[in-house]
Structure 1
Amino acid sequence: MRSRRDNAWVQWGVFLGVAALLSALVWAGWSVINHRPLIPFGNAGTEDATTVKIGVTDMPESLDIRPSASSEASESAADPTAIDTVSPAERLLIGNVYETIVTVDQQNRLQPGLATKWTVTNDGLTYTLTIAKNVTFSNGHTLDAADVVWSLQQAVNGQAANQTTNQSAGNSIGSRDTNSLGSLASVANPDATTVVITLNQPNPTLLRTLSGKLGVVFDAEVGSADYATKAVGSGPFTVRDFRSGQSLTLARNDEYHGTKAASAAVTMTKYDSDTALMKALQSGDIELAQNLGADAAASLQSESAKASTTSGITVTKGATTSKVMLAYNHGTDSLLSDEQARKAFRYQIDAAGIAGSQAGSNGALGGPISPLESGYEDLTGLFPYDTAQAQSMFGYFGDQYLTTVNLVVTERWRTLAETIKQQIEQGPRPNVNLEVLSDADYAARIQAGTWEMTLMSMDGTDDAGLFVDGNGPFHYDRAEAQQAYASARAATNDADYAERMKTYARLLSEDAAADWLYTRACFTAARSGVSGYPTALTDQRLPLANVRID
């Protein structure tokens, strides 16, 4: 009898074991099908099991965003017609994994970051920042003012290294760090929550700089870590998985000092084209498509109105600080060194019409400062489309002088360049020699200065100073402009800086230093139920802490 009873218990044990195994297999299969983690993490609840799947068209090769990182330079140089472009690593990690001393909101306004508040002396030379308490890095180390000082020291060293590299490489486009940390006299931390930055001369864009890569706070205790594959930050997410150039998965940081991320994880996957990104959204492979191209966004909106496959998809257009311009070469051998010729071209080209016809446009511009930057003024009325005025001004030039201008572009700008060529050639003179070059050949031509016009974008904030940069690509040399910009840089408060930048921008536009055509828009597409995602400035940063599936 006992033997039978023992056998019965054994049989029940086998049965329960098999049942448990089958249950585990069913759970694993369901997890794979629904892209859920096999082991739940975070706090208990349905929301914690949510992973938001996001599609992008760029993905970093490395997680290293330090100023001295060589990978950042190569990634930023992917488009030779874009100035001050943010690298994929910066865009995806800053605000998510790494935090900056100061941050910006969706209107590009400065907001507290790791520094909860700050004061600036009347002479603009001393900044005293209060660093948040009870902040830890994802490895458990405490973040305090000493880490801020160390990170700033690394930023200064890294920026100097990058400038040296750029100069030795003959980089004609210029460094990404247009708004440098300036002339630092000292950086000190008198206590664990205070940082004092002292300057030798005013730098009204210092706080703006501290909201970007140069303001990232790293863990001083980590030292020479493998930054390329590991990211130790203090943000609302940690890096759970990174596949170079392919995907990046961020997991909620449950030890985050601020409001916890709304979703347990976000997975960003790279798609090779906007078409592939659009199909992934329509099929449900992803819930959110970020930084979608203008044509793809328009196609989604059109299809959504007539096809059930795209029903429930919302496309949102957001503002950026990116400015598309017809750049002029002011070198002595260029026709555009002549003020009369530059102004005539601005009258001959229908900038407002171009801005209205471009799918990626967020409105006509007219000057070097976008509506989301300090010192913006609507300058679109300075050179209204007037072919009669243009031809009258061209009449001052002899036939031997006003013959052909070289418009040099990459394939990206071919269609717009053809439009500009047609508009210029509506009059009897001049002719346009349009050359569409490979990226390498284009960069070489710009470097050599053998061009007169080109199409490019300036993608940063407060980057108008490149027009008076002696190492810049435009060779613009006007003493009044240099003095106006120097005056703006000497401002000791935000109001004076904005007013002086307005003066500088108007001077540049009135002198037709370039033809600023329009500001660019960014596009986000989301499936029904997704909320909390950013819609503006997504070409610069992609804060995901509020993204969730309702």
Structure 2
Amino acid sequence: MRTQRNDAWKRWALFVAVAASLCMLLWAGWTLLKGSRVIPVSSIQSDTAVTIGIPDAPSSIDIRTDDDPAIEQALLGNVYETLVSRGQDNSLAAGLAKQWEVSEDGLSYTFTLQSGLRFSNGHALDSSDVVWSLQQAVQQQYVGSEALDHLAEVANPDKDTVTITLSSPDPTLPRTLAGRAGIVYDEDASIDYARQALGSGPFTVSEFRQSVSIALRGNDSYWGQAPASSQITLRYFADESSMVEALRNGEIDMALPLSAATAQSLSEDPTLMVATGESLNKTTLVFNNDADSILSDSQMRQAIRYLVDTAVIAQSQADASRELGGPIGPLDPGYEDLTGLFPHDTDQGAALASYFGTSYYGGGLRFVVQQEYATLATTIASQIEQGGVPVNVEALAENDYQVRIDSRQFDLTLRTEDGDDSAAQYADPQSLSQYTDSQAQDQYKAAMAAPNDEEYQDGLRAFARTVSQDAASDWLYSCRTFVAAQPRLSGYATNMVDRWLPLSDIALS
């Protein structure tokens, strides 16, 4: 009897369990149909996935051989790491190397690696990988390897130390090693770099869809702090308007970089956040220093600089961050505020220009620009004309503009110059301005041969001051970057996002 009762109880218990399970399944199905979540949000971590909209999709992700800036923007610092890194103010910081030292003569650099470094496949990363990567960059002529011309020898006395010997001093070496030339690769990796990636960064590439998206996942083997989001997708758009529409519709969480006009429009949308940052780009009024140009005379160039009110221009341009007074921007090494050299002074400018007489100008200064700069060119022309100098503005389509520039048929033009080394053109007589000055060239050469960073930056400041005092051109303003995001998104950078996009701290709250 005991056995029969036990069997009965067991059958009853089984019935209850099955019935309860069926009820749970029915309830779960009903709640799903009603739109409720059975599983708490936190347990599936749905908010750890972020989608970022970007224009200009790369055709591959081979950061070694494809010079498309979009690859660098997506992968540098996120998937691939460099010996040295950059901060948000473009200053140098520890990367895979936690510190470095340079000899007094500037010919030897010693880098000490972080501890516990690993690639995303779990392989250990040590000094031998650094040596091999630098050798490969030079031998295979990877993108950026031309900046390693001074390299004489690379060695690893132990697994945590790398020594680099130069044939002549190069104070830009640490900055070079914060770019593509400083990426450390796994010698044992066997992948199709055009479609796959293997680095030591906080993310891995889980999927690359050409011209569509790059999907990144958190690197489980990462040696540093885990990223705030487990998945970030970079979604590429053919144009800015479709990217903005996707942001408004909630299809993406952030859009960048934006034009100033679009950023202004989005700032009026209460459902979005718009943030600005500093760019390395600079908008410059370029002077033609050719011998047959009116502006080959330094006094005439100085007159123009007094007549152009750069402060007013910087305040009126939506993409302007701050007024400039020289060829080096606020995020560039060697920056010094030189805006005081030529304060706006119409009387002073007119006095300098009057020396030449009205017949000297012929039909007026030839101010040739692309159509996008037409309004700004008209503003500048009116300021110059207040000093008695006639100006003829021509706004041309891109192809026609380039023909005029190539044939040197201009006195003034407007350009937005890219990068943190754009000042170098004023030491190059073959550049757009064709500015030539032996003192400036000697100062630049001395800066580039400095044995350490301090002397390098001091040398750049001296060079920039000479070039500015001689009015080689008129540097109007440094540019801003613009990003727009959903209010719940945090941890994103704003400076230089048109070139680099650190993703580790980005997360939805």
Scaled by the length of structure 1, the TM-score of the pair is: 0.81
Please say if residues 256 and 498 of structure 2, whose CA atoms lie closer than 8 Å, have aligned partners that are also in contact: no
Secondary structure of the residue that 1:461 maps to in structure 2? Answer: coil
Secondary structure of the residue that 1:409 maps to in structure 2? Answer: strand
In 1, the alpha carbon distance for the partners of 2:447 and 2:383 equals: 36
Aligned to 1:151: 133
Aligned to 1:303: 269
CA drift of 1:178 comes to 11
Paired residues for 1:12-411 under 5 Å: 45-47=43-45, 50-66=48-64, 68-69=65-66, 72=67, 75=68, 87-157=69-139, 180-222=147-189, 225-304=191-270, 310=271, 313-403=272-362, 404-411=364-371
In 2, the alpha carbon distance for the partners of 1:179 and 1:447 equals: 26
Aligned to 1:78: none
Secondary structure of the residue that 2:497 maps to in structure 1? Answer: coil
1:195-233 residue CA offsets vs partner (Å, 9 max, x unmatched): 11111221111111111122122222337x532211211
In 2, the alpha carbon distance for the partners of 1:413 and 1:145 equals: 50
Change (3 A) 1:441 1:233: farther
Structure 1 position 474 matched with structure 2 position 433: yes
CA drift of 1:443 comes to 4.1
In 2, the alpha carbon distance for the partners of 1:47 and 1:445 equals: 57
Secondary structure of the residue that 2:257 maps to in structure 1? Answer: strand
The residue identity in structure 1 corresponding to 2:112 is T
Change (3 A) 1:231 1:123: same
In 2, the alpha carbon distance for the partners of 1:484 and 1:456 equals: 25
The residue identity in structure 1 corresponding to 2:51 is K
Aligned to 1:513: 472
* Aligned residues with identical type, % of pairs: 44
The residue identity in structure 1 corresponding to 2:381 is K
Please say if residues 179 and 462 of structure 1, whose CA atoms lie closer than 8 Å, have aligned partners that are also in contact: no
In 2, the alpha carbon distance for the partners of 1:328 and 1:95 equals: 38
The residue identity in structure 2 corresponding to 1:333 is D
Please say if residues 373 and 461 of structure 1, whose CA atoms lie closer than 8 Å, have aligned partners that are also in contact: yes
In 2, the alpha carbon distance for the partners of 1:469 and 1:216 equals: 29
CA drift of 1:540 comes to 2.1
Secondary structure of the residue that 2:207 maps to in structure 1? Answer: strand
The residue identity in structure 1 corresponding to 2:370 is T
**Match for residue 415 of structure 1 among 375, 380, 383:** 375
In 1, the alpha carbon distance for the partners of 2:358 and 2:76 equals: 55
Aligned to 1:174: none
CA drift of 1:239 comes to 0.9
CA drift of 1:48 comes to 6.7
CA drift of 1:236 comes to 0.6
In 2, the alpha carbon distance for the partners of 1:179 and 1:405 equals: 39
Change (3 A) 1:217 1:413: farther
Change (3 A) 1:114 1:417: same
Please say if residues 84 and 96 of structure 2, whose CA atoms lie closer than 8 Å, have aligned partners that are also in contact: yes
Structure 1 position 501 matched with structure 2 position 468: no
In 2, the alpha carbon distance for the partners of 1:220 and 1:325 equals: 44
CA drift of 1:433 comes to 3.7
Decide which moves more: 268-277 or 524-533: 268-277
CA drift of 1:445 comes to 4.0
Secondary structure of the residue that 2:58 maps to in structure 1? Answer: coil
Secondary structure of the residue that 1:315 maps to in structure 2? Answer: strand
In 1, the alpha carbon distance for the partners of 2:82 and 2:404 equals: 37
Please say if residues 285 and 474 of structure 2, whose CA atoms lie closer than 8 Å, have aligned partners that are also in contact: yes
The residue identity in structure 2 corresponding to 1:139 is N
Secondary structure of the residue that 2:414 maps to in structure 1? Answer: strand
CA drift of 1:182 comes to 4.3
Secondary structure of the residue that 1:135 maps to in structure 2? Answer: coil
Please say if residues 182 and 206 of structure 1, whose CA atoms lie closer than 8 Å, have aligned partners that are also in contact: no
Aligned to 2:4: none
The residue identity in structure 2 corresponding to 1:108 is N
Change (3 A) 1:549 1:249: same
The residue identity in structure 2 corresponding to 1:451 is F
Please say if residues 179 and 206 of structure 1, whose CA atoms lie closer than 8 Å, have aligned partners that are also in contact: no
Change (3 A) 1:132 1:444: farther
The residue identity in structure 2 corresponding to 1:297 is A
Aligned to 2:3: none
Scaled by the length of structure 2, the TM-score of the pair is: 0.87
Secondary structure of the residue that 1:138 maps to in structure 2? Answer: coil
1:238-282 residue CA offsets vs partner (Å, 9 max, x unmatched): 111222222221111111111111111111212344333333222
Please say if residues 347 and 385 of structure 1, whose CA atoms lie closer than 8 Å, have aligned partners that are also in contact: yes
Secondary structure of the residue that 1:327 maps to in structure 2? Answer: strand
In 2, the alpha carbon distance for the partners of 1:139 and 1:454 equals: 51
In 2, the alpha carbon distance for the partners of 1:95 and 1:30 equals: 39
1:449-495 residue CA offsets vs partner (Å, 9 max, x unmatched): 33332222233224312211244332111100011112212222222
CA drift of 1:542 comes to 0.3
In 2, the alpha carbon distance for the partners of 1:48 and 1:127 equals: 46
Please say if residues 49 and 264 of structure 1, whose CA atoms lie closer than 8 Å, have aligned partners that are also in contact: no
In 2, the alpha carbon distance for the partners of 1:445 and 1:150 equals: 47
Structure 2: 5+ residue stretches without partners: 1-10
Structure 1: 5+ residue stretches without partners: 32-39, 76-86, 163-176, 305-309
In 2, the alpha carbon distance for the partners of 1:315 and 1:463 equals: 28
Between structure 1 and structure 2, the one with the greater Rg is 2
